[in-house]
Structure 1
């Protein structure tokens, strides 16, 4: 399998990569269009609210902002020099949401604009988002620090297993030094809350070495999502004491190997990436980094849960160079002897 050694390709695999790309600036072709509107909070103007213009195609990894503005004291904004095209206009305020806001923090409106056109009254009526807060402890009652909370939306009938909610402030999903978390800016709806990793998902754990992992637990201390308590959030409401008690950590594992070029010579200083392979064997999700290969071309991937993975070289050498992608499986121990081969483009 050919795997191009270009960072842009791999960014599509990274959690939250689309969001970081969205706030980045680009150098689009000069445009002549204008988009205007007003942002309100209740019956009052919402000043100092960021408004962003993004390509309408939300799933592209290279999605970046085309224009950005800030509302004035009357809530008005103006996006200038907009190229012709189809876009998503978003009003971004951390604790506020649009009344029909969907997942991933996007409350945007789709706009199609022609060269030289002025599109008016792209307005946003924001409301205060909800809050879910609680405390996470381990099997000994000790606060669990720096672990990520998973917030998943249930459907209108309360069925579990919906998509995860995400925002432009991912740090609020981590527990603090007291084991406390507080997620805000949540659209009205029904949710489940969990923490820990699911080996069924096979998601890579990033940059944590071999410290182990917690198995997924849903509030209130259930191992199955079907038994999780549904947390209902209304406009501006706050759900407190959504606590979870985890068991003890499970051991994580490591995979080691070598990187060689076509002649069998060790490739030095190459960064190895890895991702989890889905059950169909064709798709990869999650993304992690291993060590940089040493003078013998040796590398090490740590913090791996049981599951199937793929390893590849991350953007080394000439942009046209590429590495083979190798798949391997972690069951109940470390593995060694992996071989990655670099090829000239």
Structure 2
């Protein structure tokens, strides 16, 4: 909607409808409840084709019971566990994940049962018995200065899962390089990954992402070479106003810098913090 100066628009009404609910229980192969497991919901069309996948912030309780609410009426597939094509996605403390399983006990999305959700209705008994736990592996290597090839200590690294040549989500694992520049990241299930340098505060070093794949064994001898980053300077000008209160809001203004036209594996953006000093009059 676009409004012009002085325009008055009325009749912007909304009709609210009651949302639906899906409930069920998640058990392991021994019949024990799976606790604190995140749900994955996939919307499907009338031909049972996947339309949209969502990793939800709904988890099982200490009985393995879950309740997903706030859903629009429609047809869904419900899953838990990690898709091995994506590696280890998700938040919280890193742990060995279960292999992705769809309701009721299907390992593949095409074999999943369709869950119908009605407006204002509750669909219960959508239980899942999870598959096997994915075996975790280790990725290790060194981080060095790209010019001197000397090891760099105390550099924090991050890992992102990759799919279709792009980063799909960052893992809740971090690694700090040792005094010899060595690092080790544990608990990685099979998948494709991107290894990056995490923001280093005042450190101006950067490195291109290092891509690697975990199949059925540990990955060793990864090398990250850093370079000295460039600097951007400038002046922020507030046009058409000398309001001191508004000028004061520019203090510690954050700027985002994005790379245009770079290769797909290049980081999408870097967040900078602009510190304004001086006296506004």
Kept after mapping to 1: 8 A contact 2:20/2:71: yes
- Tell me the CA shift for residue 117 of structure 1: 4.3
Structure 1 residue 154 and structure 2 residue 39: aligned? no
From the superposition, tell whether residues 255 and 285 of structure 1 become closer, same or farther in structure 2 (CA, over 3 Å).
same
What residue number does 1:237 align with?
Answer: 121
Unpaired segments ≥5 residues, structure 1? 1-110
CA distance in 2, matches of 1:115, 1:259: 56
Question: In terms of mean alpha carbon deviation, does 318-327 or 182-191 score higher?
Answer: 318-327
Question: In terms of mean alpha carbon deviation, does 188-197 or 314-323 score higher?
Answer: 314-323
> Partner of 1:163: helix, strand, or coil?
strand
> Partner of 2:52: helix, strand, or coil?
coil
What residue number does 1:19 align with?
Answer: none
The 5 Å alignment of 1:245-260 reads 245-260=129-144
- Tell me the CA shift for residue 307 of structure 1: 1.9
- TM-score norm. by structure 1 comes to 0.61
> Partner of 1:127: helix, strand, or coil?
coil
- Tell me the CA shift for residue 292 of structure 1: 2.1
From the superposition, tell whether residues 235 and 271 of structure 1 become closer, same or farther in structure 2 (CA, over 3 Å).
same
Structure 1 residue 135 and structure 2 residue 135: aligned? no
The 5 Å alignment of 1:31-110 reads none
What residue number does 1:217 align with?
Answer: 101
From the superposition, tell whether residues 264 and 114 of structure 1 become closer, same or farther in structure 2 (CA, over 3 Å).
farther
What residue number does 1:186 align with?
Answer: 71
- Tell me the CA shift for residue 198 of structure 1: 1.5
From the superposition, tell whether residues 124 and 268 of structure 1 become closer, same or farther in structure 2 (CA, over 3 Å).
farther
CA distance in 2, matches of 1:220, 1:160: 18
What residue number does 2:221 align with?
Answer: 337
What residue number does 1:124 align with?
Answer: 14
Structure 1 residue 327 and structure 2 residue 217: aligned? no
From the superposition, tell whether residues 206 and 185 of structure 1 become closer, same or farther in structure 2 (CA, over 3 Å).
closer
From the superposition, tell whether residues 266 and 117 of structure 1 become closer, same or farther in structure 2 (CA, over 3 Å).
farther
Structure 1 residue 199 and structure 2 residue 81: aligned? no
- Tell me the CA shift for residue 341 of structure 1: 1.5
Residues 77-135 of structure 1: per-residue CA shift (max 9 Å, x gap): xxxxxxxxxxxxxxxxxxxxxxxxxxxxxxxxxx2234554444332211221000100
Unpaired segments ≥5 residues, structure 2? 230-281
Question: In terms of mean alpha carbon deviation, does 180-189 or 287-296 score higher?
Answer: 287-296
CA distance in 1, matches of 2:103, 2:75: 13
Structure 1 residue 164 and structure 2 residue 53: aligned? yes
- Tell me the CA shift for residue 318 of structure 1: 4.4
- Tell me the CA shift for residue 321 of structure 1: 3.3
CA distance in 2, matches of 1:242, 1:160: 19
Structure 1 residue 285 and structure 2 residue 168: aligned? yes
Residues 14-56 of structure 1: per-residue CA shift (max 9 Å, x gap): xxxxxxxxxxxxxxxxxxxxxxxxxxxxxxxxxxxxxxxxxxx
Kept after mapping to 2: 8 A contact 1:136/1:246: yes
**Number of matched pairs:** 227
- The CA RMSD measured in Å over matched residues stands at 2.1
Kept after mapping to 2: 8 A contact 1:277/1:283: yes
